[in-house]
Structure 1
């Protein structure tokens, strides 16, 4: 068996034992189901618990199916990314701290295989969980609000997957460079707080990895501006590749920091 397959099996067993293979998909699935249901039944909920006068009518705007899917993505951008960053910040750093890395480093393994096995398991769990949640959201959106265009939905989902790979590469790089605590803080800073900064100041630029979730929404509604969208995709992919290469470099460089 190759280094990669052995290391990947190790990662798979570890994520089964710590139940990440279960609870992370459940979080995204719950959000995906809750958003369309909450938006559909919100007037009745407010009427039941709002203590409004008799005869009061809630005039809420009518949501399109595309808007419902984007509210789901909005939840993923905060709650979902928080789960990803905190759930995987120690994927490399924790092994250096608890001594597991020492048992691996003394063997003739490829550091590229070591990092790529972690990249693959993170991608399977994170992207698989998001797809599961979005499909659940799409199902209830279809029942309660109507259908979305299939080709637009595929473009929307593909764009968001590129964003997820960017987030995964940030977390992987941070874990390779820093300890678990610092990696968590750096990942939160680069994933969540950087989104807030882009939201506040992003009118001054149109090309950025942090605009991909917004562009995914534009793809869904058929209103994407092709040039900044394509350039944002290219920049995101290039930055992700650089971060993964950096993770391999620092995983090898920080061998001396592994606990014996």
Structure 2
């Protein structure tokens, strides 16, 4: 039972059984499709709603495809992150609580393999969902707005993907450490509430994982200074490694708390 491949297959079956492999990509794709369509038809929607004095003309801004990608990122930064937290907050703590983990812990299992199997499968599922949303948006942006350079789109997506990996790692490490409710609350504070804090007083620092979403937009800007982006990426990578080690340690330490 200590085989890494066995744990990977077990985790994949778990995501399939609870239909996360279907509904999470679907949600991200819906956002990816709706963002360019809504922004394209927004002037017509507002005209049909009415309520403006006769003869009034409102000049709507001319959105570029790059603007739509950033607008979509804003949706992912709130709704998308909330979905990740709520969907996976009990990945480890939930198994301890309902006793499922007992079937694993009584066997000669590597907790490193246990944690990493969840980390790999969940990251694969979430990153695949995010990229499906980006690709869906890119398709409609190309039709309704303008063509966006492929290299810029993939650099933009790769930068944001590092932030997503950080979020998933935070959620899993907290799930290994705390009960499900505590893991959810602290994960929301770290990933969502701290974004607001960074937005308010973040001008005093330039290197932070919470700035990766903003720095992702730099790929759409000509001659943007990417030094802070690379430093933030390095710091984020280091934090991810530390959180993985912490998560493995806490999963092993809390194994005795499993409900029998």
Q: Same fold (TM over 0.5)?
A: yes
Deviating beyond 6 angstroms after TM superposition, the runs of 4 or more aligned structure 1 residues are none
Q: Secondary structure at the match of 2:101?
A: helix
Report the counterpart of residue 217 of structure 1 in structure 2: 217
In the TM superposition, what whole-angstrom CA distance separates every residue of 1:115-171 from its partner, at most 9, and x where no partner exists? 011001111110000000010011111111101112111211111111111101100
TM-score normalised by length of structure 2? 0.97
In the TM superposition, what whole-angstrom CA distance separates every residue of 1:79-105 from its partner, at most 9, and x where no partner exists? 000000111000000000000111101
Counterpart check, 1:244 vs 2:244: yes
Report the counterpart of residue 104 of structure 1 in structure 2: 104
- Report the Cα offset of residue 2 of structure 1: 6.2
Query: 1:259/1:2 Cα in 2 relative to 1: closer, same or farther (>3 Å)?
Result: closer
Report the counterpart of residue 205 of structure 1 in structure 2: 205
- Report the Cα offset of residue 64 of structure 1: 1.2
In the TM superposition, what whole-angstrom CA distance separates every residue of 1:34-53 from its partner, at most 9, and x where no partner exists? 11111111011111113223
Unaligned runs of 5+ in 2: none
Report the counterpart of residue 29 of structure 2 in structure 1: 29
Unaligned runs of 5+ in 1: none
Query: 1:113/1:222 Cα in 2 relative to 1: closer, same or farther (>3 Å)?
Result: farther
8 Å Cα contact 1:40-1:144 kept in structure 2: yes
- Report the Cα offset of residue 30 of structure 1: 0.5
8 Å Cα contact 1:176-1:247 kept in structure 2: yes
Q: How big is the alpha-carbon RMSD for the aligned residues of Structure 1 and Structure 2?
A: 1.2
Instruction: Name the CA distance, whole Å, in 1 between partners of 2:19 and 2:220.
Output: 33
TM-score normalised by length of structure 1? 0.97
Q: Secondary structure at the match of 1:100?
A: coil
The 5 Å alignment of 1:1-260 reads 3-260=3-260
- Report the Cα offset of residue 55 of structure 1: 3.2
Instruction: Name the CA distance, whole Å, in 2 between partners of 1:192 and 1:245.
Output: 23
**Which deviates more from structure 2 when the two are superposed, residues 239-248 or residues 47-56?**
47-56
